[in-house]
Structure formats: C-alpha cells, structure tokens
C-alpha cells in the first residue's frame, strides 16, 4: 500500500470466509486480528463441495495438494422417492475437460482445520461476542459483551447470517434514514437441517464405499422430510436430514423456538428419521449411531441478499451480506470469493484514509454483488431441485430432469464456471480447461511492480 502505513484490519468471525481473509492478509503482510464469538473452534458441518470458482485460489496459495488429499471427485447427484425409485440424475463427469478441475467433496471440518493451521494462534481471540461498533477519530472500534473493546482501521463482519456487525451498522444507517427497506426484512427460512459424518464404516456392509468417486443421493420422503447421503474419504458417509417449512409463519415460530439448540433438539430431530432407508443400504438410524455426537450439528437454512455491504470503515463478508441455501457449497465458496476480492482491493489501497477505504469497499461490492446474487438464486433453485417438496418444487424438478435439453444445462454450467476470481497480487493460475474465463479487474500496483522488476532484469511474468 504505497509507502503509507498498512491498515490494521479487524475480522469478526472465524468461519471459512473470515479465515480465508486472514490467510490472505497474512500472505500480504497486512496487520490483522480475528475475533471469534465461540470459546473454542468446533468442527461444524458435514460434507462440502468445491468447484473451479475457488479452487484456482488454493492453487495460487500452494494448497491444492493438501486440498485434494482430503477430497474425492464429486461426479453426480441422484434424487430418489421415498421407496428409493430414481426420480432424476444430474451428472458432472465432463467438468474437468471444461474447467480444468473436477468438482470435489470433502469433510468441511477438515478444510476448517487446514485453514486454521495457517493462521498464527496469537492472531485469533475466542469468546468475543461483538455488541456494537463505532467510529472515532478516523478509527473503528468494536465493543464486546465482556466489556472489552478493540480498535483498528478497517472492520470486516464475517460473523454469519445474523451478523452483529451488520446489525450495528444497519442500526446506525437506519437512525439516519439511509437503510434500504429490503435490508430491514427478515431472512427467508427454508429448512431445518441436521448433518453429520460417520466414523469409518465397513465396505462389506456398504459396498458403495468402494466407488472411487462421490455420488450425492437425496431421498424425498413424506410430510416435507428429505434426507441425503454421500461418501467421503476413509470409508465415511456424510448424511443430511431436512424438514422443509411451507410458510413464513411456521418459519418464524421455528426461529423463535430454536434460537439456541442443544443435544436434546438434535436427538428429537434424529428420532424422526431413524427408520428411513437410504441408497447406501440400511437405515439413517444406523448412520446416526455411527456418528460421534461432536460430528452432528443442526442449523436453520435461510437465504437473503442484502443490499448494503459496507458503511464507513466496516464491510460485510459471506453470509453476513448474502446468505444462501448451502446447495452445492456455494455459500462457503462465495464467502471465500469475497475474501479474495477484499484482499485485492486492500492491496491497491494507497493509504488507510476514510476516502481510500470507502473507494475500496465500493469496488468490492461492485465486483461481487451481481455474481453473488446469481449464485444465491442458483442455490435456491438447487435447493428446490434436490429437497423441495412443495407443488412448485416438484414442478421445477420434473421440468429440469425431463424437459430441459442437456445443451441448456451445459450452457448454464459454462456460465457459472466462467467466474473464477483470483488473487491479483500473485502470479495467475492459467486456465487448465477449454471453458471461457471471465476477465477480472487487474491490480495497478502489481502490474507496476512487475514492470519495475522487468526493468531491473528479473524476467518475471504475470502468469
């Protein structure tokens, strides 16, 4: 950032998006600190899919080999009815030719641990629940529930769908009459969701574990219940249980009743699904029994696109500004893409003035908003395709599986896979496939530095 002091960045939230930003700032040698609400880092989530939309960044960072070591290729998804008759199949076998990478599947906690190990422990403080933020003398402060306060130049709210950072800055905007009406409305809730990852299982009992690739299987049960299974490395099965909400009133009641969940709530939901069959063979109850309690978690699946992504010296990242139904792993991927673009605009900031920060945040939103909105809408459709049980959900599924030509599916995939933002302050990863890649905004600072090195005879290249 020129010859001026680098800004001090405070990141609230140690999810995948917050950790990705921390890793990038560490690589950029920009001072930062992460403040996490939880008192300890817990291994949350089951399986996560990742695509070409973010894999090149892992290659840039030298992490691709580690990522592949915990992954299996994800080649198809199959929808069954409650009697395990096939309703439809979505194949992804030609992805590598087009994208240069296969779509992959891995345990989310293992990615979480891999990323956590790249952040110096002294740069994460746990047990910090942010109550409010304020700007003072060209700095921004966070005030926590334990009566502690912290100050920096930039604040990033990466603290989830019900972000306390967002609530604080929205309250400030609303008091000034500057908050758009859509940002005052609740998130739309779609499902109660419970997930888990089993211990290693015997392939003799579950022969599908012998397949080298991952095939996601989802069963549409009765009374708005659905459940899914997939294989992971080391002969493990991840599972997901879903209960769909049909109206806003029911969703609001569930939000009120279950603001905080405990083990008893998990047990009650699991009991409803125990006797249901799944395509690996056996019952869901057998998989739950093979899953450690700490590997089981329950969440609401909600969605909303927020209009306001930044205010003053604070900006939002990931679920805090675009909460998606986690179909296809797009929520986590988009959070990490946010981190990539934020690091790019930070790299080009000439100084830590309010003017420079505002310009960086405006560029960040301009580069990300339309892409994130498209992915939110696509994730919503995928959620309906693979788990929705309302009339229109069934209609969408019937049309997409039976009446939409394969060529149209292919064009949609080409369009979605063309957006692959990279770190513009590092050498670029070339396109390994035949598909088109959207150009991205270059770094003027990086290009200037390359020209300087060339003139000094280093013979460097941008790729």
Q: What is the mean pLDDT of the chain?
A: 88
Which pLDDT belongs to residue 406? Answer: 55
- pLDDT, tens digit, for every residue of 211-237? 998 888 999 998 889 999 999 999 999
Does pLDDT of 393 surpass 80? no
In this predicted model, what pLDDT tens digit does every residue of 32-67 receive, in sequence order? Answer: 999 999 998 876 778 899 989 999 999 999 999 999
pLDDT digits (tens, 9 = 90+) for 239-296: 999 988 766 565 556 655 554 434 556 788 899 999 999 999 999 999 999 999 888 8
Q: What is the pLDDT of residue 260?
A: 41
The reported pLDDT for the residue numbered 206 is: 95
The reported pLDDT for the residue numbered 2 is: 43
pTM of the model: 0.91
Q: What is the 3-state secondary structure (H, E, C) of the chain?
A: CCCCCCCCEEEECCCHHHHHHHHHHHHHCCCEEEECCCCCCCCCCCEEEECCCCHHHHHHCCCHHHHHHCCEEEEEEEEEECCCCEEEEEECCCHHHHHCCCCEEEEHHHHHHHHHCCCCHHHEECCCCEEEEEEECCEEEEEECCCCEEEECEEEECCCCCCHHHHHHHHHHHHCCCCCHHHHCCCEEEEEEEEEECCCCCCCCCHHHHCCCEEEEEEECCCCEEEEEEEECCCEEEEEEEEECCCHHHHHHHHHHCCCCCHHHHHHHHHHHCCCECCCCCEHHHHHHCCCHHHEEEEEEEEEECCCCEECCEEECHHHCEECCCHHHHHHHHHHHHHHHHHHHHHCCCCCCHHHHHHHHHHHHHHHHHHHHHHHHHHHHHHHHHCCCCHHHHHHHHHHHHCCCHHHHHHHHHHHHCCCCCCCCCCCCCCCCCCCCCCCCCCHHHHHHHHHHHHCCCCCCCC
């Amino acid at each position: 950032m020129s010859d001026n002091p680098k800004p001090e960045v405070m990141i609230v939230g140690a999810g995948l998006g917050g950790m990705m930003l921390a890793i990038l700032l560490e690589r950029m040698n920009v001072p930062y600190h992460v403040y996490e609400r939880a008192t300890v880092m817990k291994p949350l989530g089951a399986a996560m899919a990742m695509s070409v939309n973010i894999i090149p960044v892992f290659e840039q960072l030298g992490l691709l080999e580690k990522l592949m070591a915990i992954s299996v290729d994800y080649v198809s998804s199959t929808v069954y009815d409650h009697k395990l008759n096939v309703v439809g199949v979505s194949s992804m076998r030609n992805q590598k030719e087009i994208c240069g990478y296969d779509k992959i599947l891995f345990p989310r906690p293992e990615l979480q641990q891999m990323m956590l190990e790249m952040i110096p422990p002294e740069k994460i403080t746990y047990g910090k629940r942010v109550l409010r933020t304020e700007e003072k003398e060209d700095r921004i402060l966070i005030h926590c529930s334990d009566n502690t306060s912290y100050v920096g130049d930039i604040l990033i709210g990466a603290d989830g769908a019900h972000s306390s950072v967002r609530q604080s800055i929205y309250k400030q905007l609303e008091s000034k009459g500057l908050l758009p009406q859509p940002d005052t409305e609740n998130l739309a809730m779609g499902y109660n969701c419970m997930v888990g990852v089993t211990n290693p299982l015997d392939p003799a009992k579950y022969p599908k574990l012998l397949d080298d690739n991952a095939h996601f299987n989802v069963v549409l049960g009765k009374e708005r219940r659905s459940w899914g299974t997939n294989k992971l490395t080391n002969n493990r099965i991840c599972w997901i249980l879903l209960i769909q909400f049909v109206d806003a009133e029911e969703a609001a009641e569930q939000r009120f009743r279950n603001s905080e969940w405990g083990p008893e709530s998990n047990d009650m939901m699991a009991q409803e699904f125990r006797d249901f069959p799944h395509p690996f063979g056996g019952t869901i109850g057998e998989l739950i029994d093979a899953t450690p309690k700490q590997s089981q978690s329950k969440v609401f699946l909600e969605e909303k696109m927020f209009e306001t992504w930044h205010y003053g010296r604070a900006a939002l990242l990931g679920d805090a500004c675009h909460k998606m139904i986690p179909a296809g792993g797009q929520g986590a991927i988009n959070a990490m893409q946010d981190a990539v673009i934020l690091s790019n605009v930070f790299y080009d900031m000439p100084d830590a003035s309010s003017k420079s920060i505002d310009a960086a945040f405006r560029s960040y939103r301009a580069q990300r908003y339309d892409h994130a909105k498209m992915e939110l809408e696509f994730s919503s459709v995928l959620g309906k395709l693979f788990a929705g049980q309302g009339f229109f959900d069934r209609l969408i599924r019937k049309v997409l599986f039976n009446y939409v030509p394969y060529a149209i599916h292919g064009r949609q995939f080409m369009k979605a896979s063309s957006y692959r933002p990279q770190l513009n302050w590092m050498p670029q990863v070339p396109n390994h496939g035949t598909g088109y890649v959207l150009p991205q905004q270059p770094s003027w600072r990086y290009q200037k530095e390359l020209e300087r090195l060339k003139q000094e005879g280093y013979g460097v290249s941008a790729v």
